[in-house]
Structure 1
Amino acid sequence: MWAFVGQILWPVAWVGLLEWYVTSPTWTLWLFFVPMLYAFYRSFLQPAYITGAFRTRRLLREWPWKVFVAPESGIGKIPGGGMGDVWLSFPDPERPEEKVPVILHGHIRSAWWRRRLGRGFTTRKTAQVKEIWFAGDPRAAGVIAVPGPRRLFVIYQRSSHSSDVPTNA
């Protein structure tokens, strides 16, 4: 919902600040330049938030939440990943004894997760992700969250990233 509200408010704020910038006295121009640039930036960023919200919603409609306590995670040392890639490992739905690693691909919202996963030692931050909720198929795509659910984040296998949502077979 907030993505839709932002889709309306950020362009309105940008146009309003632009109008103020053009018609106001010269000494006030510097006050509105930075907010105007930020509103312009957010106006073009909003469609990505809406797309992500719909992808999350489709995944959550199809898959139930599963709770994992201290799932295996790490930094680097994963096939198909780079040295600094943070990853989580979840059981394969067809073969529960095998694990499927999923790399947290770079995104502005992944920073919170990246600071807390894969460290190999316990800190106050890593304790925040001791329990992780997961909905989806780790072989394709899923949603992770901390209990609540809070901090929703869509994870996906690079080869399967598309607008299609895997079906719960």
Structure 2
Amino acid sequence: MKLLVLAAINAKDRSSAFGAIRYNQPDGSIEKTLTNDELGLLLDTFLQRHPYLEDGICSDQGIRLMNVDSRITNYIIKEFIRLQKPILSVHDSYIVDTRDVELLRDCMKEASLHVVGVDLAAEQELPSYQDVMATRYPDRDYHLQVFEHYLINSAKNKTTGYKLRYQQYGSYKEGSE
């Protein structure tokens, strides 16, 4: 189905899309034997589930979409160059330093808003540096609350022994000055 939809996006009409599907299949494969009517039924079924894509199917959108993709990539690369950060684009992905993944996300959002007017969702295979660091101390907030509680309440809860030792320390400190 994916190949059919991709061919249909890139083709100017159904006949061209169906011909491209059969052309790229090995001899003897089921795909090679599918008729235009059968491929048409498959495409129609897809469009029933995704009617918002109908205007883009068999309308020669491939070149236009590649241009949009390249403009987004150009925007992202220019921003990384401006910030003197390394970046490598590979097909529809980007390779950046782990510490720059959040920057990449922000640049991708900004670029898609600039080029197409909407924030396009992006997938990521690995967690960012910030994601990893956030999990480094999972109970951090709890520990900070406990620590803060004892700091605030420590003035109220000083033992007699502590007060005596503190007074001795103060006397010692005054005597050594």
Asked which structure has the greater RCO (Cα within 8 Å, sep 6+), the reply is 1
Kindly indicate which of the two structures has a greater share of residues assigned to strand: 1
TM-score by length of 2: 0.26
Q: Which protein shows a greater Rg?
A: 2
TM-score by length of 1: 0.27
